[in-house]
Structure 1
């Protein structure tokens, strides 16, 4: 390691300490000089101390082969000193908080990591620590509003994601490419996550804004999952207009996402697909704005019984996997001649798979045929969401989804036709 890199690493350690120090000092900015345990200067020096200790540890390891003793000694000494000062401050102010002690330990550790380990991880750790500190009010407010059923649902979702998902087999089972158990669980997690985000967003910022925000986020992942999840919420007496606005927003985001996917993977199809996709997205966003702005016909005090129903989520995940399985079976059975059939069947659950598949086949497909295959998948997916809205949601909810789907389709078809005439 040359001297320039050592300077960069030490500079990163100091920068991490300074960033944390700014937040800590800002919170105690009204306190008089000498009345706070640690501010911007102290935390900057703590980061620097971690970096210098890391440098000393590196040199000692090269000379004697011992490692870790000096680092551990300085770490424990720092923790003891900061804890002593924090204790005196807590006694004077009659407050109880170990945050400053833990922050000092984290800052020292990240400073040492910047010198001894991966600079990217150290930088990310500093940003995450700063984000946690800066979100104090938000987290405290959230904890006041959080109920046990919501915390329980979050624990279940985390367990499904980080405990169950890694151990579930990923290899497909069955013919035509089979069905992956991990994919089923992943879809269930996605559906539950979208439902949970929608629940929390609606609770924090209100139904209309929360549902639109959750729909926009969910549309990046799967607008089909949003449609099914929100339809189930509407059946539980959720606000139909705001939920419909969320689904329509998800559809618009999905169209934009597919457009960018075409730009990245199949640039030759841009003249065929981008104008109609963006026209449909614009109309969808306009209708969603109309619904969200108009609001519900009466105030509602409705709250969902649960952020998500695990059994319902599992059923919907199995449905989507079954549809994808049918699409693969049709593709294998009919071959390239059945591309449009396979695209239509795949569109019942997903559009991205069709876009990726068609992009890989561009060398052997005529551009109009390739564009038509993706267009068919998008069209089927748009109306499939309306069908799901009708099957699982209430009439007031599904009606708006149908209207938005027809308007968006009309705008896309008109734009595509105008492009062909030109």
Structure 2
């Protein structure tokens, strides 16, 4: 059999470098498609040649010296920059985007010859997308307010500046307070507040709230309650839709807790299915009515967006959760197994996931399934009540009334279902 033709790997790399230049040049040429021939510094051919030039300089490095690539990039940058400077003098357009794009195309072509081809291709795609999104990005930046920029910076600082330096171990004698875990809770609450603000502004009131409720309910329905209740403050007319979001998040929370518990121990499936199902139907029915019903138009019905990141509220809620965790730990140490239900009640004030995981696992070995189911139900009950209280404290009176009454109805439905079935 004849052997397969040999293809030099360098030839493949140079072809990739040329393709990178063509990709970037296609976008650059399309942007300047209305200009006269020869009136622009660089188009499809120039960028394609630039990518190939970078690939050739990179390919010469193993044969000569790295200085070939350095001098090649320096010479290209000087020549390319000089032509752009001359064009800027004539057109009074002093944007440096074209120069940076040209230099980066050269660098990506060189990297395609020397490094990982997939990385070079990914860089070229990212560069082309950024260049193509000029108008949408500029329009988005013009619409940003200083409060939104500041909120984003604060959230980034919380996540990447302060979080890494916090100790990731308990710092109290009872082993209850972990600074990293508490700070992560604060970040989640703040992030949901920021995402909720952005979703409502970009998608509109109804769609944004539904998105926040569904996504937030998977991680923290308490944070969703805080976020949406805060949005309703001083704007009573928007309360029904926001209340619908809170109730939808509560529905997601019930489904999440039920699925987690049943996944860990199938014996919990039946004891939890009936009361949780009844409560979820009440929450979901009320949420659907509030979110999907036609809303009368008129002055004062639009939702007013204020601070996109209420850092004080996030930190206070995280602190409250830390105190609750400490109290729960002390109760267990004082009362032992007899304090299980009291632990469930206190833990549920802030979070139901930790207790659900603990009791579901314990029910496989040392804890009766019935006892575990009651403990989980108590935690969900106190969590539901605590969110209604938060809605009353942080939200508009109308929202507090809706959330409180529906929550009581859901709890009553769950209790009746448990008693009769």
Q: TM-score, normalised by structure 2?
A: 0.75
Contact 2:267 2:369 in 1 (8 A): yes
Unaligned runs of 5+ in 1: none
TM-aligned CA distance change 1:177 to 1:45, over 3 Å: farther
Aligned-partner Cα distance in 2 for 1:261–1:378: 13
**Which residue does 2:347 correspond to in 1?**
346
Q: Which moved more, 1:27-36 or 1:323-332?
A: 27-36
Partner SS state of residue 193, structure 1:
helix
2:290 paired with 1:288:
no
| Larger Rg belongs to | 2
Distance in 1 of aligned mates of 2:268 and 2:52: 52
Q: Does 1:156 align with 2:154?
A: yes
Give the TM-score taking structure 1 as reference length.
0.75
1:401 maps to 403
Deviates more, 1:357-366 or 1:320-329: 357-366
Equivalents in 2 of 1:21, 1:287: separation in Å?
55
Separation (CA, whole Å) in 2 of partners of 1:354 and 1:175 = 21
Of 191, 194, 211, which aligns to 2:209?
Answer: 211
Runs (5+) with no aligned partner, structure 2: 1-6
What is the CA-CA distance between 1:240 and the residue it aligns to?
1.4
Query: Is contact 1:215-1:250 (8 Å) kept?
Result: yes
Number of matched residues? 410
> CA-atom RMSD, angstroms?
4.4
Aligned to 2:225: 227
Q: In structure 2, the residue corresponding to 1:346 is in which secondary structure?
A: helix
Asked if the contact 1:48–1:111 (Cα under 8 Å) also holds between the matched residues in 2, the reply is: yes
CA deviations on 1:342-376 (whole Å, 9 max, x unpaired) are: 33332222233234334543541455554554444
In the alignment, is the contact (CA less than 8 A) between 1:327 and 1:345 conserved in 2?
yes
Residue in 2 that maps onto 1:243: 242
User: Aligned-pair distance for 1:397?
Assistant: 0.8
Q: Closer, same or farther in 2 for the Cα pair 1:309/1:122, shift >3 Å?
A: same
Alignment of 1:74-113 (within 5 A): 74-84=72-82, 86-87=84-85, 95-110=93-108
145, 148, 152: which one aligns with 2:143: 145
Q: CA deviation at 1:412?
A: 6.7
Within 5 Å, which residues of 2 pair with 1:44-193? 54=58, 56-57=60-61, 59-60=62-63, 68-84=66-82, 86-87=84-85, 95-110=93-108, 125=123, 128-129=126-127, 132-193=130-191
The answer as to 2:320 corresponding to 1:319 is yes
**3-state SS of 1:191 partner:** helix
Structure 1 residues 331, 286: CA separation in 2 closer, same or farther (over 3 Å shift)? same
Inter-partner Cα distance in structure 2 for 1:226 and 1:378: 16
Q: Secondary structure at the match of 1:159?
A: helix
